[in-house]
């Protein structure tokens, strides 16, 4: 059992460290295109998401975030920060969790930034979600009743896989130029 926990912890840390923003122009263009397509798909699924985004100062779209683990888990993904509908920065998201966690999944995530203070915090590099933050599973009408925590709301759309997660952890977003 100790060996299994150790292997899963090492694998989770490897996944945790794999998030990187693209550096090549072609990779960056692909990520922007994927982010725009992901947002369009999520808006089609929940038409109330567009008005929420239009009222925001910015939003970060992560087309694919991978997450997995057993007792100890982690995940990572790359995305794009948009301001006024234009891509302005690339971003990485990473998360770590400990507790009752088992499985693996891939999901898309949109982080909506309601006010300039939330955007400034993201740009300063001090942007992290603690154990109290929660994401809203995307479904029709979900954005209409969104609640913001410290100026942010998070929407998640499962892509594939399954994970049982009753753990404590956090998520960090970092920007690159």
- C-alpha torsion angle, residues 154, 159, 163, 164 (rounded to 10): 50
- Based on its alpha-carbon atoms, the radius of gyration of the chain, rounded to whole angstroms, reads 16
Average pLDDT over residues 100-121: 86
CA 165 from centroid of its chain's CA atoms = 16
| Spans of all domains in the chain | 2-176
Task: Give the position of tokens 């898309």.
Answer: 108
Q: What is the mean pLDDT of the chain?
A: 78
Strand, coil or helix: what is 168?
strand
What pTM was estimated for this model as a whole? Answer: 0.80
Q: What is the pLDDT of residue 145?
A: 65
What are 144's two structure tokens?
Answer: 């209409």
Per-residue pLDDT band at 4 (split at 50, 70, 90): very low
Average pLDDT over residues 46-59: 93
Task: Give the position of tokens 């930034």.
Answer: 113
Q: What is the pLDDT of residue 164?
A: 56
Q: Give yes or no for residue 16 having a pLDDT over 70.
A: no
Q: Give yes or no for residue 102 having a pLDDT over 80.
A: no
H or E element that contains 8: helix 2-17
What are 43's two structure tokens?
Answer: 């808006």
């Amino acid at each position: 059992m100790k060996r299994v926990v150790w292997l899963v912890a090492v694998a989770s840390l490897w996944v945790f460290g794999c998030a990187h923003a693209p550096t090549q122009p072609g990779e960056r263009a692909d990520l922007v295109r994927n982010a725009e397509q992901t947002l369009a798909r999520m808006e089609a699924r929940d038409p109330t998401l567009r008005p929420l985004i239009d009222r925001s100062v910015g939003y970060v779209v992560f087309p694919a975030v991978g997450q997995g683990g057993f007792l100890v888990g982690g995940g990572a993904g790359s995305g794009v920060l948009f301001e006024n509908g234009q891509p302005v920065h690339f971003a990485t998201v990473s998360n770590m969790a400990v507790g009752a966690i088992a499985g693996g999944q891939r999901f898309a995530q949109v982080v909506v930034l309601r006010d300039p203070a939330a955007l400034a915090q993201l740009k300063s590099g001090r942007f992290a979600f603690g154990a109290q933050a929660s994401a809203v599973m995307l479904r029709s009408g979900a954005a209409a009743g969104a609640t913001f925590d410290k100026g942010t709301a998070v929407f998640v759309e499962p892509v594939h896989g399954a994970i049982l997660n009753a753990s404590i952890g956090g998520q960090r977003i970092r920007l690159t130029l």
